[in-house]
Amino acid sequence: MSNYKIDDIFLIDFNNEIANTTAHDFLNYLNTSSNLKFLTVGPDFSLGKNKEGNINYLNELQNIFDYKLFVKNPFFHKIYN
């Protein structure tokens, strides 16, 4: 993982409260708890209640929450024994 220069990874238990959180509120949580600067997602990613936080929505919120959105295609890394 150190080769990818990732500072933090958040593991959040998916529960009813998370399932009913709006995309805006979830991004606000990420921003205030981690000083969010970059968000990297796949092309079909969405977050928030009813998947309202799609790529277009996340793109619009970059200026509000002061982060940079990166949309990347999936890649596979083969691990050798």
The model's pLDDT over 19-50, given as tens digits with 9 standing for 90+, comes to 999 999 999 988 888 888 999 999 999 999 99
pLDDT score at 79: 72
Among all chains, which residue has been given the structure tokens 């998916």? Answer: 14
**Domain residues of the chain, as ranges?**
13-71
Average pLDDT over residues 3-15: 77
pLDDT score at 9: 77
pLDDT score at 54: 96
DSSP H helices in 1-81: 16-19, 23-34, 55-60, 62-65
pTM score over 0.85 = no
pLDDT score at 67: 94
CA distance 81 to 62: 41
Q: What b/e sequence results for 28-53 when a residue is b if at least 16 CB atoms lie within 10 Å of its CB, and e otherwise?
A: bebbeeeebeebebeeebbbbeeeeb
